[in-house]
A and B are shown apart, each in its own frame.
Chain A
Amino acid sequence: MSQTNRLSSGGLIDRRKPLSFQYNGKQYQGYEGDTLASALLANGVDIIGRSFKYSRPRGIVAAGAEEPNAVMQIGASEATQIPNVRATQQALYEGLVSSATNGWPNVDFDVMSYVGKIGGKMMPPGFYYKTFMWPQTMWPTYEKYIRKAAGLGRSSTMKDPDQYDTLNHHCDVMIVGAGPTGLAAARAAAATGARVIIADEQEMFGGSLLSSRELINGKPAIDWVRTVVDELSANPDVVMLPRSTVNGYHDHNFVTIHERRADHIGDRAPVGMTRQRMHRVRAHWVVLATGAQERPLVFAHNDVPGVMLASAVTTYIERFGVVPGNELVLMTSNDDAYLTALSWASTGRKVVAVVDSRAKADGDLVKQVIDKGIRVIFGSAVYDVDGGTRVKAARISGLTADGKKLTGKSETLSCDTIASSGGWSPVVHLSCHTGSRPVWDDNIIGFVPGETQQKQLIAGGIRGHYDLLDCLTEGMNCGYVAAERSGYGPVGKRPEYKVARIRRSPAMPLFLVPHLKPISQAPKQFVDLQNDVTSAGIELATREGFESIEHVKRYTAMGFGTDQGKLGNINGMAITAQVLGKSIAETGTTVFRPNYTPITFGAIAGRNCGELFDAKRYSAMQPWHEENGALFEDVGQWKRPWYFPKSGETMQQSLNREVLAVRNSVGILDASTLGKIDIQGKDAREFLARVYTNAWAKLGVGKCRYGLMCKEDGMVFDDGVTSCLAENHFLMTTTTGGAARVLEWLELYHQTEWPELEVYMTSVTDHWATMTISGPNSRKLLAQLTDDIDLDKDTFKFMDWRPGTVAGVPARVFRISFTGELSYEINVSANHGLQVWKKLMEVGKQYDITPYGTETMHVLRAEKGFIIVGQDTDSTLTPYDLGMGWAVAPTKPFSFIGKRGMAREDAVKPNRKQLVGLMAKKPDVVIPEGSQAVANPNQPIPMTMLGHITSSYYSATLGRSIAMGLIRGGLDRMGETVYYPQADGSVIEAEICSPVFYDPKGDRQNV
């Protein structure tokens, strides 16, 4: 197809570089420098989608981020699909594949449009709420077809082949927007030596200057842009980010920028380059030079393809060399839009008329248009449009001075394009992200940023100042001020800008052009094109009592689309105000929140995905575990061996083998992940006494002791063994998951409550590799690997530790046990962990040494009734509830943490849930963990629940199942029967017993 709307010259496109692309299955051509939108317009593509609710044909309206209709599905393959891309922001590249998001089966023939045509009345606002809510069971069916018909973009079902990443920045001055204001600000700030970042969402810097015919210092504006860009590029302290949308402005001048690094290059990013990058910027000062977006006027059938924003038409002509039609009617309430008529006329195509709502206007641009002989009709407005898939004519009529009523005779102007302008809306979105509310300004007929806590300056269009000289001057001043407040400058000589001022006559506040019929009966007057919200819908909302602007928004869905109502919201607020008889200032705005435009999930995730999603922590023995077929369990960030299956074994078979090896010979466990804290200082002992529930005063050097830690409420939150290394030196162990939490907890108390205690805590979790050999043969094994530790059972007793050498490596050996067997925990510097482990395996072969993992450890400790904090406890259990009153020393002189809490009335009341053992009556039945206990399984639901199972395993040692669990008053209910109803209707019967299932006297660990 030929580019029927492309001019033979002009614009910033490169006609020597044609690009072919695909839209809805057809091939087209555009040029380098095009956006997808400009290329489609060049090719005369009128319909680029169907509307969300009524499925009306829609065309391109805007040229920037505010575009509501041209929302595309991009991607040449399934894996590279990107939904909801605005064609106006997608640079054209060779081979681009795009399709319309809406429209089924296609945009030119659309099933849903008949629904829309048959009855606008059938689909009032709240239609979906009202219609599809009943019967509820049918919702999945409705939803399927609604989604298919409406179309909301489609995510790929495959893994994205591209990568996304994040870059952190700090700067003195962050400038948002690289139009005249932003560039002048950047130039000024950079000249002071300040660190500057300037970002702009467009493909190139320049903003409005890219489609301007104004002169700066006597030269075309684009020349000035190029000069400034070159100047900034040469400065190493300036970061320039084109095609980068500042999407969020967060507290304390934290700014997030979404850069599309490769979206303009191809379907996939080049090798070695991420597709998109999220920049996270902390700025001393932020200059918002975001400019303004043009506001369309609302009139009947204003959604017919061919109705566009006036400034967008100018942009397509001046920047892309595309005239999106042949015969133009321009509808305006201000002077600026006259530029569109001048641009259009300059292409040789026909300007049918300029329809100006004002009774008169005599600004410079108006005069230029009149001088060209173009018909200007004052005091009139376009109130309706003829045409279905393309504008055929504009219906105009006289308008009263207040813009509330039509007067005089109607006239029909034949045309194919209607450009409309209701003035400018400053882009205040970012200024609102940290909670500041914008303020209505009658002078500029728009909202401007309100007061803020941020170190923020605003300049140019965002303030409603649109004159180019004002923009340059304000931008420059803000650049200097921001730099100075960041500690740079002042500079001696400031650049001077000479720009001819354009005299403008006052604009008229006009939002909704009245129709011959009242709002509720007029043809559809679209406010929010993406969500098909009409003025009648807004009126209906207020009639039904939704008067707050936030309620109107939710009731009508105005601004809920992917364009977030950039085009329609202000008009919607104005119309709400009008029908309520209030001012716009009184009606107020809805809240703008991040992100300014939609962001891909990839950019949000960055490299925190796949293998790098989270930190994975490994012990020094990890290589051995991997080589020997361990399966791994996540414990916090740690990867711990879960069990070591041999070929052909089921999980249970592996566990049985590992359990029996420990009970009968010797097993080995990697316990390196336990938290370890080195505690030194003359008050170390006192400190321990305050944070543990038990006594520490008399723990001698060479001895170890188990301790429970509670919070102030008396509930257990960690446990572990602490050893006395020297009189003022201890080694504390914590649970694997609790290590960091416990250390921070200890520091908290030391720093804030007891700074007078002379004690220092240092984490040594990673320093020590810890391997536990457990089982009756562990002593024999250890004896073969050490010649300087006396292992005699009477000198190196249970709960003792000794320094020495193991396998030639200096070690601390702790005789402590979590299995109930004779056990030694060997600690060596982790640099030597693997070598010592290997040696233990090698020498242990004669005892058939068996590596075991966390699951086996859990079975072994459950056989002994040892708790696991976090599995058997849940922050609601005191040591007494756990049957561990023996670990509490209430007579200690200092009121240790938890003592007062566990004495509270509620903590000592009878019938609290307590930890007990449970044996299923059928020994081969393992009660599922989490099962709820009841006294009477025949009680009607809801049954009275007594507690639940916390740990449950098959014990190979005992040849039967065992379980631990909570039961109300359980410690006094030994021997009683409780029932565990299951989801499948069956009931498991179990007897309450001691949780110590094996070797209750502890003989085996004391041998």
Chain B
Amino acid sequence: MSEVLEPKKASAAGTVASAEPVYALMDQRPADMSNAESPLSRFRWQVSSSGKNVGVVARELALLGHFILRGNVANADFVKGAAEVLGVELPGTLKSNAKGNLVVRWLAPDEWLITVPGEQAFAIESNLRKRLTGHYSLVNVSGGQTLLVLSGADAVNVLRKSCHYDVHDRNFPVGKVVGTTFAKAQCVIRRAGQQEWELVIRRSFADYLAAWIQDAAQEYGFAVK
């Protein structure tokens, strides 16, 4: 609704901000993971009857560490620090960088999604907290979302039934990351391979999206790994 052209200086709220901001840090992952439940761990998939061609395969990459990192790319030390800890550069617009099981996705000009193996999550979070400087934020969202990988020759058709983003090779090369509307929810899609699409799905929408995806995939033959 509103907008100013010239940024104004904040008027003091009565506090003096400390030189380096102070954040709460907490290992949210218990030592015993045997009872953990990923967003799709209980979903009752309906796969195509055996013997049918399988055009779409779904596979959840469950219980990874997910972090939202926000910061200013104009802060060279922030960019450098993130790269040092993560081992890869923060990717630019609509791109992703991966190193082994660590993937960093661009979400917005000041926002990235980092996924890492669950057992490394706290170490990476701690190291980022130690290393990063200036104005940034780091938020653990591991419980709030999951990765669902759709692969197979017809995975692309499931996407075309679900979102109106152009998934053609010329517009969506491997490694690209796109946040878009998916069915009646939101989704971040990364093309992980020629026939491999990785969806970031929010926990509360997981049942709906899984049901939608398997419905869309039925005509191509659908399997779950």
Q: Which residues of A contact B (CB under 8 A)?
A: 165-170, 195, 272-274, 280, 282, 607-608, 611-612, 614-620, 622-623, 638, 673, 678, 680-683, 685-686, 689, 696-698, 712, 725-729, 748-749, 752-758, 760, 762-769, 803, 805, 808-810, 812, 828-835, 892-894
| Given A166-B161, A832-B30, residue A754 in contact with residue B143 (CB < 8 A) | no
Contact between B11 and A830, CB atoms less than 8 A apart = no
| Given A617-B205, A831-B37, residue A726 in contact with residue B23 (CB < 8 A) | yes
The residues of A that contact B59 with a CB separation of less than 8 Å are none
Contact between B37 and A767, CB atoms less than 8 A apart = no
Contact between B215 and A618, CB atoms less than 8 A apart = no
- How many Å lie between the Cα of A767 and that of B13 in the bound state? 30
Interface residues as binary, B185-209 with A (CB distance below 8 Å gives 1, 0 otherwise)? 1000000000000000011111111
How close is B173's CB to chain A, nearest CB, in angstroms?
Answer: 15
Which B residues from 82 to 104 make CB contacts under 8 A with A? none
How close is B167's CB to chain A, nearest CB, in angstroms?
Answer: 8
The residues of A that contact B37 with a CB separation of less than 8 Å are 620, 831-835
Contact between A830 and B144, CB atoms less than 8 A apart = yes
A-B contact pairs, 11 of them (CB 8 A): A165-B216, A272-B219, A280-B164, A725-B23, A752-B3, A752-B4, A753-B2, A753-B3, A756-B9, A760-B135, A831-B37
B29 interfacial by beta-carbon distance below 8 Å: yes
Contact between B14 and A893, CB atoms less than 8 A apart = yes
Contact between B18 and A727, CB atoms less than 8 A apart = yes
Which B residues from 145 to 192 make CB contacts under 8 A with A? 145, 157, 160-161, 163-166, 168, 170-171, 183-185
Contact between B183 and A170, CB atoms less than 8 A apart = no
Q: Which residues of B contact A (CB under 8 A)?
A: 1-4, 7-15, 17-18, 21-24, 26-32, 35-39, 42, 63, 68, 70, 110, 135-145, 157, 160-161, 163-166, 168, 170-171, 183-185, 202-209, 211-212, 215-216, 218-219
Q: Which of A612, A764, A805 contacts B144 (CB 8 A)?
A: A764
How close is A607's CB to chain B, nearest CB, in angstroms?
Answer: 6
- Secondary structure at chain A's binding surface: helix, strand, loop or mixed? mixed
- How many Å lie between the Cα of A808 and that of B36 in the bound state? 12
Contact between B141 and A764, CB atoms less than 8 A apart = yes
The 9 tightest CB contacts between A and B, nearest first, are: A767-B144, A766-B144, A829-B143, A830-B143, A680-B137, A760-B137, A725-B24, A617-B204, A728-B21
Q: Which of B13, B22, B35, B171 contacts A726 (CB 8 A)?
A: B22
The residues of A that contact B206 with a CB separation of less than 8 Å are 618
How close is B197's CB to chain A, nearest CB, in angstroms?
Answer: 15
Q: Which of A608, A752, A760, A768 contacts B2 (CB 8 A)?
A: A752
Q: Which of A614, A697, A894 contacts B184 (CB 8 A)?
A: A614
- How many Å lie between the Cα of A682 and that of B16 in the bound state? 9
The residues of B that contact A169 with a CB separation of less than 8 Å are 160
Report the nearest A residue to B52, measured CB to CB: A272
How close is A731's CB to chain B, nearest CB, in angstroms?
Answer: 9
Report the nearest A residue to B68, measured CB to CB: A762
- How many Å lie between the Cα of A769 and that of B203 in the bound state? 10
| Given A607-B216, A766-B202, A810-B29, residue A678 in contact with residue B183 (CB < 8 A) | no
| Given A282-B164, A830-B203, A835-B35, residue A689 in contact with residue B143 (CB < 8 A) | no
Contact between A810 and B30, CB atoms less than 8 A apart = yes
Report the nearest B residue to A621, measured CB to CB: B37
Contact between B30 and A680, CB atoms less than 8 A apart = no
Contact between A748 and B8, CB atoms less than 8 A apart = no
- How many Å lie between the Cα of A209 and that of B35 in the bound state? 68
The residues of A that contact B164 with a CB separation of less than 8 Å are 168, 280, 282
Contact between A616 and B24, CB atoms less than 8 A apart = no
Contact between A683 and B17, CB atoms less than 8 A apart = yes
Report the nearest B residue to A839, measured CB to CB: B35
The residues of B that contact A282 with a CB separation of less than 8 Å are 164, 166
Report the nearest B residue to A760, measured CB to CB: B137
Contact between A726 and B24, CB atoms less than 8 A apart = yes
Contact between A755 and B7, CB atoms less than 8 A apart = yes
- Secondary structure at chain B's binding surface: helix, strand, loop or mixed? loop
Contact between B184 and A762, CB atoms less than 8 A apart = no
| Given A620-B37, A728-B23, A831-B142, residue A615 in contact with residue B183 (CB < 8 A) | yes
- How many Å lie between the Cα of A273 and that of B14 in the bound state? 66
How close is A318's CB to chain B, nearest CB, in angstroms?
Answer: 37
| Given A607-B212, A810-B29, A831-B38, residue A766 in contact with residue B204 (CB < 8 A) | yes
The residues of B that contact A619 with a CB separation of less than 8 Å are 204
| Given A615-B208, A764-B139, A766-B141, residue A893 in contact with residue B13 (CB < 8 A) | yes
How close is A890's CB to chain B, nearest CB, in angstroms?
Answer: 15
The residues of B that contact A686 with a CB separation of less than 8 Å are 10, 12-13, 15
Chain A CB count within 10 A is highest, among B42, B143, B206, for B143
The residues of B that contact A727 with a CB separation of less than 8 Å are 18, 21-22
The residues of B that contact A768 with a CB separation of less than 8 Å are 143-144
The residues of B that contact A749 with a CB separation of less than 8 Å are 2
The residues of A that contact B205 with a CB separation of less than 8 Å are 615, 617
Report the nearest B residue to A681, measured CB to CB: B135
The residues of A that contact B163 with a CB separation of less than 8 Å are 168
How close is A605's CB to chain B, nearest CB, in angstroms?
Answer: 12
The residues of A that contact B21 with a CB separation of less than 8 Å are 680-682, 727-729, 758
| Given A168-B160, A755-B7, residue A765 in contact with residue B204 (CB < 8 A) | yes
Contact between B30 and A748, CB atoms less than 8 A apart = no
Report the nearest B residue to A729, measured CB to CB: B23
Q: Which of A762, A766, A835 contacts B70 (CB 8 A)?
A: A762
Beyond A765-B144, A832-B30, list 6 extra A-B contacts (CB 8 Å). A607-B216, A682-B18, A727-B21, A729-B23, A752-B2, A760-B110
- How many Å lie between the Cα of A282 and that of B137 in the bound state? 37
The residues of B that contact A833 with a CB separation of less than 8 Å are 37, 143
The residues of B that contact A830 with a CB separation of less than 8 Å are 39, 143-144, 203
Contact between A810 and B28, CB atoms less than 8 A apart = yes
How close is A812's CB to chain B, nearest CB, in angstroms?
Answer: 8
Contact between B23 and A680, CB atoms less than 8 A apart = yes
How close is A783's CB to chain B, nearest CB, in angstroms?
Answer: 19
The residues of A that contact B142 with a CB separation of less than 8 Å are 767, 829, 831
- How many Å lie between the Cα of A810 and that of B31 in the bound state? 9
- How many Å lie between the Cα of A894 and that of B15 in the bound state? 13
How close is A282's CB to chain B, nearest CB, in angstroms?
Answer: 7
- How many Å lie between the Cα of A765 and that of B145 in the bound state? 10
How close is A804's CB to chain B, nearest CB, in angstroms?
Answer: 10
- How many Å lie between the Cα of A555 and that of B206 in the bound state? 53
- How many Å lie between the Cα of A685 and that of B15 in the bound state? 8
The residues of A that contact B207 with a CB separation of less than 8 Å are 616, 618, 622
- How many Å lie between the Cα of A640 and that of B51 in the bound state? 40
The residues of B that contact A754 with a CB separation of less than 8 Å are 7-8, 10
Contact between B137 and A762, CB atoms less than 8 A apart = yes
The residues of A that contact B42 with a CB separation of less than 8 Å are 623
The residues of A that contact B30 with a CB separation of less than 8 Å are 805, 808-810, 832
The residues of A that contact B35 with a CB separation of less than 8 Å are 832, 834-835
- How many Å lie between the Cα of A300 and that of B15 in the bound state? 90
- How many Å lie between the Cα of A805 and that of B27 in the bound state? 11
- How many Å lie between the Cα of A766 and that of B210 in the bound state? 16
Report the nearest B residue to A753, measured CB to CB: B2
Contact between A616 and B208, CB atoms less than 8 A apart = yes
The residues of B that contact A728 with a CB separation of less than 8 Å are 17-18, 21-23
- How many Å lie between the Cα of A808 and that of B29 in the bound state? 10
- How many Å lie between the Cα of A731 and that of B34 in the bound state? 28
- How many Å lie between the Cα of A865 and that of B193 in the bound state? 56
The residues of A that contact B204 with a CB separation of less than 8 Å are 617-619, 638, 673, 765-766
The residues of A that contact B32 with a CB separation of less than 8 Å are 808
Contact between B135 and A758, CB atoms less than 8 A apart = yes
- How many Å lie between the Cα of A619 and that of B202 in the bound state? 11
Contact between A195 and B168, CB atoms less than 8 A apart = yes
Q: Which of B12, B15, B70 contacts A760 (CB 8 A)?
A: B70
The residues of A that contact B15 with a CB separation of less than 8 Å are 685-686, 697
How close is B61's CB to chain A, nearest CB, in angstroms?
Answer: 13
Report the nearest B residue to A699, measured CB to CB: B15
- How many Å lie between the Cα of A831 and that of B14 in the bound state? 39
Q: Which of B4, B135, B168 contacts A682 (CB 8 A)?
A: B135
